[in-house]
């Protein structure tokens, strides 16, 4: 696997309260194992969205590299991930899936350190729920995307108003953020994406087997020329 040692555009710190570093390490291990039911459900949708990407593909919030099997092996892949505990899992997944040109960067989604107009595509899946400033992350996506470049996303979103699921999300919100490395099940991620200034937004809503995070959106958009 190429790409050399991890680079860091900005130090990513464990700054989420007492025991944050240990929780993030455990979270990385948990995510690396995956969730069989969810992974099987989302597999074909991911392959449809990711399988045609070419050139330099930046994944913001790369996690354990779960999307690498769905991406073509001929791409140049740059993974942006603030939790350094994920790096060993990413590199193992890259070896297992034949991805040779990878670059793992321990950095924040709103400050990747990448040049302007340097990515042909940017991928974000199940990330905007947990970043401190989702609009800032999407502004960074637009900055690093080439004009006409593709933004691809899959995210869980807040449930419809006045539903039992919305009430459940409000109840579990605080403890789940602590367990899930900042994941906020009540965030209006769809609204954030719609307000980010992309063009040609194509968005699909669906339910996934993910308990209180079951409302999902997936789609693509284009960076304005």
Convert the pLDDT of each residue in 28-72 to its tens digit.
566 556 578 899 999 999 999 999 999 999 999 999 999 999 999
pLDDT in tens, 166-214: 999 999 999 999 888 889 999 999 999 999 999 999 999 999 999 999 9
Instruction: Report the percent of the chain where pLDDT is more than 90.
Output: 79
How far are the Cα atoms of 8, 18, 155 from residue 217, in angstroms, in the given order?
30, 33, 5
Task: Indicate the pTM of the whole model.
Answer: 0.86
| C-alpha closest to that of 151 among 197, 104, 87, 85 | 197
């Amino acid at each position: 696997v190429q790409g050399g040692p991890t680079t860091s555009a900005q130090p990513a710190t464990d700054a989420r309260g007492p025991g944050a570093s240990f929780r993030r390490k455990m979270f990385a291990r948990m995510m690396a194992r995956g969730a069989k039911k969810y992974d099987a459900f989302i597999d074909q949708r991911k392959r449809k969205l990711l399988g045609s990407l070419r050139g330099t593909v930046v994944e913001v919030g790369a996690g354990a590299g779960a999307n690498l099997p769905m991406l073509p092996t001929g791409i140049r892949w740059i993974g942006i991930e603030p939790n350094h505990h994920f790096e060993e899992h990413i590199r193992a997944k890259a070896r297992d899936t034949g991805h040779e040109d990878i670059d793992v960067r321990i950095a924040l989604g709103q400050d990747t350190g990448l040049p302007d107009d340097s990515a042909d595509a940017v991928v974000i899946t199940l990330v905007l729920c947990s970043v401190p400033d989702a609009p800032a992350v999407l502004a960074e996506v637009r900055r690093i995307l080439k004009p006409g470049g593709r933004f691809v996303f899959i995210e869980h979103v807040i449930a419809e108003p006045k539903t039992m699921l919305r009430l459940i999300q409000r109840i579990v919100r605080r403890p789940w953020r602590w367990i899930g490395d900042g994941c906020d099940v009540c965030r209006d991620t769809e609204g954030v994406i719609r307000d980010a200034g992309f063009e040609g937004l194509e968005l699909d809503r669906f339910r996934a087997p993910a308990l209180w995070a079951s409302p999902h959106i997936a789609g693509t958009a284009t960076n304005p020329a």
